[in-house]
Structure 1
Amino acid sequence: MRRIEVGGAQPYAVTVGAGLLDTLDVPERQVALIHPGDLPRPFVERVQAALSPVVTVSVPARDACKTLEVMAGVLSRLAQVNLPRDGAVVGLGGGAATDLAGFVAASYLRGVAFYTLPTTLLGMVDAAVGGKTGVNLPEGKNLVGAFWPPRAVWCDTDTLGTLPPEVFREGAAEAFKHGLISDPGLLPRVLAPEFRPAGALLTETIADAIAVKAGVVTRDLTERGERAFLNFGHTLAHALEGVTHQTVPHGEAVGYGMHYAARVSRALGGADLTPDTLAFLRWQQPSPLPALTYDDVAPYMARDKKADSDGVRFVLLHELAHPYLTRVPDDVLRREFDGWRNDISQLG
């Protein structure tokens, strides 16, 4: 078992290990539990037994739950049971469900306590840590939300054994990204055979990936500086999700987006890390993308959260573990998109 401390104005701990769903410590007496409808029922029942929630709300799976309409329904349910200001919201499930639950907690009665129990690899190494909550709009990913740190995060690695292999590999994208931007030792470990549910490298690799994000958000909760580096690969990733109406899973989109960012980094004089990103894509085996042009994705990239009044900014790498944020000429983005498209067409 590992415990990672997240500092800042509202510090909390992230605990990683097996069997944690049975040992939860939530001091609030009245709790609302939010989970996706496709979550294995035993996980829901274990949390219900540990917390005795006053209400349990099932929401659609994956990004289908991250809408203002779903959020409004959850808020109404909390109001119907009169969840008090000193109550708490607990998010159980993947990253989409915990994003929604966190935004519900931030919004209900102008903010109640929030706890998160991620059950996917993607949720553990990314969504559950850092206090970013929110929902999507048709115009783009995570355009509505709030910074609302949890009181605690429990990552029960037993839940990962129920994931289809492709969903586990999808979640590994964020751990690999943390290796590219900060901890190169993660790169071979993510691709190792021992990094799998119940594998010898599972707990320590997850914890070390979380530690990268914990350090960044401790220093920069609201993305005024280095937290933007956590978005390496995400500018194209969010565009791929948007243009395909969320049919491309987030982790697979990030895998594709990291390779594009590596190509753009190389084009601007950075080290050539494209062999690393291609190695990850071969390991991840993402679903093939539809035929897309640069003009298809460019409007979505223009709405990226890192954009400001002067245009789109990209997180790139001078070299391994040395990220930076910059604007990129459109002709470079277009040329590298064509090269990226050619690369991924050869993945097989």
Structure 2
Amino acid sequence: MTQAATSSPRQSKNAVASVNGQIITSEQIEKPLASQLYRMQQEIYNLKRTQLEQTIAQILLQKEADKKGISLDQFVKEVILPQGVQVSDEEVEKYYTQNQESLKEWKGTQEELKQQIKTSLEEQKYYQKINEYIQTLISRNKVEIYLQDPPLPSVNITAGNSPSSGPSNAPLTIIELSDYQCPSCRQTYGVTKRIMETFKGRIRWVFKDFPLGQNPVSVKAAEASRCAADQSKFWEYHDLLFGTTQELTTDKLKDLAKQLNLDMDKFSACLDSGQYRNNVLQEAQEFAAQGVDRTPSFVINGKLLPGGPSFERFKDLIDRELSRHK
């Protein structure tokens, strides 16, 4: 492809190319990549944050060593770890017992393996004790961090008529894009339930189906949840879907409906007819076009958070958003 002549008109300051005068903007190419670009920016941020924390620790530790007129290495040995670190045989055996599956590929002797485990545990304790000491220094010094998390990308995904919980006029709306078959979604389910309870009355929670790759089992489960919603039992059915460990066959989907005493004639007719299949697939295509490429993902007041965050990370994001609406 040849580069456009420099005399070509630039109709937009965000133009990155033109085809026969038709401008292609940065927004056009970044929108489908929203989730991927954010994750890359997050990786860069994490690298910078780690380096920043190491630099802060170096400054604080060096200051303490200078006060005593000794080297940093000497300060660590004499002040932070005067007794060194010890790992008992019991600790080695406990680690060995709890991690036998991951250690089964070991090619050396058992004695060599346990010595390696001991060395690894000693190293962990060494850095743990140093980090604990650094935290005490941080609490005693004026340390301010200005490095900012990368901003969440904006997406145009709205609640629409999807099932929701919480007041419709809540200052914060969170839209969950999830897949009943997705292992990460199942792991995050406990976090989302805890978040919904913690912020009850202050947020509106919306659930949208996003069966990645149009997995037929995921699609059918999504259809089933909508059939349950027709009988005002969406959230109860949603909880059963995430709670079961059994394969989500059509028969299983119907068994779950029976547990909620749904009208089985209506539920079966709805599920067997596939009346919601096209709706599920169409929404999934729309989410993918917005740059969502993994489940679970969350839209927090129009900002995309890809992946399943920890409770602490999620709570921090929500607290910050709510503080803006006081």
Which structure carries more strand by proportion? 1
TM-score (norm 1): 0.20
Please identify which structure carries the higher helix content: 2
* Greater relative contact order, per chain length (Cα 8 Å cut-off, separation 6+): 2
What is the TM-score with the length of structure 2 in the denominator? 0.21
Q: Which has the larger radius of gyration?
A: 2
